[in-house]
Amino acid sequence: SVVIHESVAPEFLSPVTSLLRQKVQLLLGGDNPYLLYVGVWMSHKNLVRLFQAFEIVRSRYPEMQLVITGKPVPGYSNLIQYVQEHRLEKSVLFPGFVPQHLLSALYAHASALVFPSLYEGFGLPPLEAAACGTPTVASNVSSIPELIGDAAQYVNPESVEDIAQGIIAVLEDPLYAGKLVAKGLVQSRRYSWEDAAAGHRSVYENAL
């Protein structure tokens, strides 16, 4: 079999303008520090454990917010109900669908991307975050370590405590977070759509 990696869109490789940063502040209703999740709301994304871990993090960083992009997938998630039951309405923000040009600024302004999936085929958000200069806290399973290499803080996705401690490790040590950012910028540029296209062409040529 042949593995062909995807790449990030050009928007994530370009500097974020001050205007886009201002739009992010308007979208979120303020300038509090925040953790970011990008992806669908399905069970394999492990979002309930993320919320539980966030409550641990918030006890240490009370100003920290959690931003969840996307929207509910019928039959898979009850995240809004969870937030209401645990009185997290002011700490967990649901901006809905975020257009790609604004998503790059949302990544860039985040304290960290949190990506605690139980499994992934190809998880683009950690690569997009890396391209935007944002550290990632990610699961140590599936394709994620292969994709991101040593440019992430890895956690056990089945442990709420481990997810929380992974987030805290990034938040409490700016020097460590900066090292993850530097590694991530290098890692994100290892992939390109040109290489992906060449890989597909080679597969077709060999098949013929």
Q: How far apart are CA 190 and CA 55, in angstroms?
A: 35
pLDDT tier, 15 (very low <50, low <70, confident <90, very high otherwise): confident
pLDDT tier, 84 (very low <50, low <70, confident <90, very high otherwise): very high
Please check whether residue 92 is in contact with residue 80, taking contact to mean a CB–CB distance below 8 angstroms: no
Measured on CA atoms in the order 195, 44, 182, 28, is the torsion positive or negative? positive
pLDDT for the residue 75:
77
Q: How far apart are CA 35 and CA 129, in angstroms?
A: 12
Please check whether residue 42 is in contact with residue 74, taking contact to mean a CB–CB distance below 8 angstroms: no
In terms of Cα–Cα distance, which of 169, 135, 168, 165 is closest to 152? 135
pLDDT for the residue 204:
34
The model's pLDDT over 97-150, given as tens digits with 9 standing for 90+, comes to 998 889 999 999 999 999 999 988 777 999 999 999 999 999 999 889 999 999
